[in-house]
Amino acid sequence: MIGFVVVSHSEPLAHAAVELAMQMIHGDAPPVRVAAGADGGFGTDAVAIAAAIDELADADGVLVLTDLGSAVLSSELALELRESTQPVRISGGPFVEGATAGIVRAATGGTLDEVAAEAAGALAAKQPHGEDGAPAPADVSAPAVPADAAPSSAPASDDGDVIEREVTLLNPLGLHSRPASLVVKAASGHHPAPTLTDLTNGHGPAAANSLISLLALGAEGGHTLAVRAEEEGAAAAVDALVALIGGGFGESG
């Protein structure tokens, strides 16, 4: 599994970012080390970062997450000081969003390349979903969906090893971070990754093993999603995702 070193000028900030990311993990979490603060104060320490990387010598690779520019400089120096030989990347992605996206992807068995790409693109989920790219009004909320409504799903479209079904999002808040992380977990292990397309707003397809791609759909309660998977095990993968989404993620009651 890929490990992480979280480098911040502020130790409380680093631990808070890790705690947020861990809230999205369902199952085994990847190893994470924090290298934050300098001499008990504000700053970063290349020696401490190198030591944190060396603690993850048994990981398949390490992604270093940084907050400010000088944290990057300290991390680059740490690569020269470390004694371990596992592959290490320094992420250029956003600190909090990148930590959450990367750690969730690593928990599902992502490679270092996949985890680094997920962290680097983590701001995609914060792009506005309104018409013409305009931010949605602040008072817009997801349409209410009756708690006892049955999942709406279309018959499976079976084209060889390609399976596609439609299902309605029942939970009023839609595909926000917690349910999206459940989708990522459910989609792990199927290759290629299943995809979700929001047929209501026209966004997608999004890889079901990518938290950021799922959040970027902007899928709200009441929207209809197309769930698609290919190759061996496609039917089982689609059925599992349709059951999860159609069940409301435990939020519709």
Instruction: Tell me the catalytic residues.
Output: 176
* CA dist., res. 162 & res. 178, Å (int): 28
Residue carrying the six token digits 């009651």: 253
Q: Report the alpha-carbon angle 74-17-188, nearest 5.
A: 105
- Residue 95: Cβ within 10 Å count: 21
HEC string for 108-141: CCCCHHHHHHHHHCHHHHHCCCCHHHCCCCCCCC
Cα distances (angstroms) measured from residue 242 to each of 154, 209, 217 = 10, 15, 17
- 3: which residues sit within 8 A by CB, 6+ positions away? 30, 31, 32, 33, 56, 59, 60, 61, 62, 63, 106
* CA dist., res. 206 & res. 208, Å (int): 6
* CA dist., res. 140 & res. 97, Å (int): 23
H runs (alpha helix) in 5-94: 11-22, 46-55, 69-81
Would you give the DSSP letter of residue 249?
Answer: G
Give the tokens for residue 204: 């997608």
